[in-house]
């Protein structure tokens, strides 16, 4: 089955700096890679996703890149703000119509004012 590794497990950045979280996956058939943000006491919130036919996707301060050859994808947050502090999860899904998301272990991001 799919295996998703996520690094780092914790990340502290100064407000205004950039943050990068990286994930690797094992199954070359994986074709969908969402990122979730989870705040304390809340459910994971889908913030951005990318499909295997795209190399990069941006949404305001958030971007995701995908390298299919190396089987890794990354989340980039620019101009970080205190409200970006949360746990971020990457995930991967395999196959057309597939449903099972395999999650990374999460990255706790702290943005220091």
Partner 1 sequence: DARVTQTPRDKVTEMGQEVTMRCQPILGHNTVFWYRQTMKQGLELLAYFRNRAPLDDSGMPKDRFSAEMPDATLATLKIQPSEPRDSAVYFCASGLLVSGVTEAFFGQGTRLTVV
- CA dist list (Å): 34 to 74, 79, 104: 10, 21, 11
Answer whether 106's CB lies under 8 Å from 4's CB: no
- Single residue of 26, 32, 72, 78 touching partner 1 by CB under 8 A: 32
- Single residue of 5, 12, 16, 46 touching partner 1 by CB under 8 A: 46
- Single residue of 14, 60, 97, 113 touching partner 1 by CB under 8 A: 97
Q: Using CA atoms, how far apart are residues 97 and 72, in angstroms rounded to an integer?
A: 21
Q: Using CA atoms, how far apart are residues 54 and 11, in angstroms rounded to an integer?
A: 27
* Span 74-93, contacts to partner 1 by CB under 8 A: 89, 93
Window of 11-19, 28-36, 54-62, 76-84 that interacts with partner 1 by CB under 8 A: 28-36
Count of residues in contact with partner 1, rule CB under 8 A = 24
Q: Using CA atoms, how far apart are residues 81 and 79, in angstroms rounded to an integer?
A: 7
CA 84 to chain centroid: 13
- Per CB under 8 A, 42 contacts partner 1: yes
Binding site for partner 1 (CB under 8 A): 31-32, 34, 36, 41-46, 49, 51, 89, 93, 96-101, 103-106
């Amino acid at each position: 089955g799919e295996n998703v590794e996520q690094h780092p497990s914790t990340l502290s950045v100064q407000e205004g700096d950039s943050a990068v979280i990286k994930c690797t996956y094992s199954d070359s058939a994986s074709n969908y890679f969402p990122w979730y943000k989870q705040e304390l006491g809340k459910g994971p919130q889908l913030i951005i996703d990318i499909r295997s036919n795209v190399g990069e996707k941006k949404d305001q301060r958030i971007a995701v890149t995908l390298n299919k050859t190396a089987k890794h994808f990354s989340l980039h947050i620019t101009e970080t703000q205190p409200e970006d502090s949360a746990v971020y999860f990457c995930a991967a899904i395999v196959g057309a119509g597939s449903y099972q998301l395999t999650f990374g272990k999460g990255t706790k991001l702290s943005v220091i004012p």
